[in-house]
Chains A and B, each alone.
Chain A
């Protein structure tokens, strides 16, 4: 089955840039979606189709996807961005949805 690997944690100071990565075999050929989950809340999509932002998501959130790595970039990190972030794809070969293990973003 298809596997997505994320680093367990990322820490950045306010105002800095956070990069959350999601590794998978030829993930660049798939459409990657990113979800933010704050403590005690349901997930919310912050990036879909590699780089598109839903309405209401700040421009500070951006995404890219190439080769074996997809990246969620959060510029000018704010305290309110502290959350767990999950990448997700649809694997057409197996017809399964797959989530990465999640990355906890800590704002120092």
Chain B
């Protein structure tokens, strides 16, 4: 069974750094792109970026380029989303999602989401 399990909810202060994780299981982690998707409170889905764990090839949405870092540790089948400087506007639910085998395909499995709250 394919599963993406994300790390737990976080509460941080502005200016702090943070990394959240997404662990894949039930499939060959290195063979499928993993994306991160933001959902701000009461708003829609926003694609942040995507990474291929096999070679760490990473692509970012222009809206998030330079704001976050997407990485992975293929030895433990885990992808990460990292911030060096959090802002209140980073408060949101963050999902990881697996891209089905073709690059133009859909996201076939999603993590359960990680709620991030940034507040002083």
Interface set of A (CB-CB < 8 Å, partner B):
1, 31, 33, 35, 37, 42-45, 48-49, 54, 84, 86, 88, 90, 92, 95-102
Contact = CB atoms under 8 A, between A and B. Distances in A.
Contacts of A48: 100, 105-106, 108
B105 to A, nearest CB: 7
Nearest to A99: B45
B94 to A, nearest CB: 11
Given A43-B107, A96-B62, A101-B44, 15 more contacts: A31-B104, A33-B106, A33-B107, A35-B107, A42-B111, A42-B112, A43-B95, A49-B106, A86-B45, A88-B47, A90-B104, A97-B50, A97-B61, A99-B46, A100-B44
B35 A97 contact: yes
Contacts of A35: 45, 107
Contacts of B97: 43
A82 B44 CA distance: 16
B95 A42 contact: yes
A95 B110 CA distance: 21
Contacts of A95: 59
Contacts of B103: 90
B24 interface: no
Closest 7 CB pairs of A and B: A33-B106, A97-B47, A48-B106, A102-B44, A42-B110, A99-B45, A90-B104
Q: Which of A31, A86, A96 has most B Cβ within 10 Å?
A: A96
A32 to B, nearest CB: 9
B61 A96 contact: yes
